[in-house]
Amino acid sequence: MTSVALYAAYASNMDPAQMAQRAPHSPLRGTGWLQGWRLTFGGQDVGWDGALATVVEDPDEQVFVVLYDVPSWDEQELDAWEGAELGVYRKIRVRVQTLDGDVLCWTYVLDDYEGGLPSARYLGILADAAEAAGAPDDYVKELRNRPCKSLGDPPL
C-alpha cells in the first residue's frame, strides 16, 4: 500500500481543477483553517509577476486551506510546480482545524523574506481558487481587496 500524505493548499492549488491537472491522483479531502497563521506575500524578486503567496505564524489570524490526499508520485510533481527543488518553497508540517477535528498536514512556505506586493492578476487567481474551493465570501472578498502591484510599479 502506498503512503498518502495530507497537503494543505492555501494559494492557487486550492482550485480543485488546477490540482486535478497538477496532481491527478490526489483527491480533495476537505477544507479547514490554519489557525495561528496568516496569508502574506514575499520573494518579490523570485516571482515573475510580483510577490508570491506564503503563510507566516501569527497567533491572531487564520488561513483558509483545502486538503488533498497526495501520494508520493504526485507530491514529487507538486514539488516541481512549487519550485521546492529549486529552493523557492520548502515544506513544513502544520496542524489544520477541520469540522472533524485537527489533522496534521504539510504545506509549502516561501523560503524568502516577507514583503512586496503581488500582482492584481495573481491575487485574482488566488481569489478565484478560494471561491472554487468554497471559501467563505468574506475571505474571498478580502483576497480581492488586498493591495497589489500595478503593472508600471518599480520593485520595492
Q: CA 140 to CA 3: how far, in whole Å?
A: 33
Beta bridge partners of 35: 62
pLDDT score, position 2: 47
Query: pLDDT tens for residues 11-54?
Result: 999 999 999 999 999 999 999 999 999 999 998 776 667 899 99
Note if 82 is an active site residue.
yes
Q: Is the pLDDT of residue 82 over 90?
A: no
Q: Is the pLDDT of residue 1 over 50?
A: no
Of 75, 82, 114, 142, the catalytic one is: 82
Name which of 70, 80, 62, 60 is nearest 29 in CA terms. Answer: 70
Q: Is the pLDDT of residue 113 over 60?
A: yes
Residues contributing to the annotated binding site for substrate: 7-12, 122
pLDDT score, position 44: 78
Which triple of cell numbers denotes residue 128? Answer: 478565484
Q: Is the pLDDT of residue 93 over 90?
A: yes
pLDDT score, position 4: 62
Alpha-helical segments (H) within the chain: 16-22, 72-82, 120-132, 137-144
Q: CA 36 to CA 102: how far, in whole Å?
A: 13
Average pLDDT, the chain: 90
4-140: which CATH number, 3.40.50.12590, 3.40.50.300, 3.30.300.20, 3.10.490.10? 3.10.490.10
Q: For the chain, what are the domain ranges?
A: 4-140
Residues contributing to the annotated binding site: 7-12, 122
Chain-centroid distance, C-alpha 139 = 14
pLDDT score, position 105: 96
Could you tell me the pLDDT band of residue 3, with boundaries at 50, 70 and 90? low
Which triple of cell numbers denotes residue 12? Answer: 492557487
Contact (Cβ atoms closer than 8 angstroms) between residue 52 and residue 118: yes
Could you tell me the pLDDT band of residue 84, with boundaries at 50, 70 and 90? confident
**DSSP, res 118:** B
Could you tell me the pLDDT band of residue 87, with boundaries at 50, 70 and 90? confident
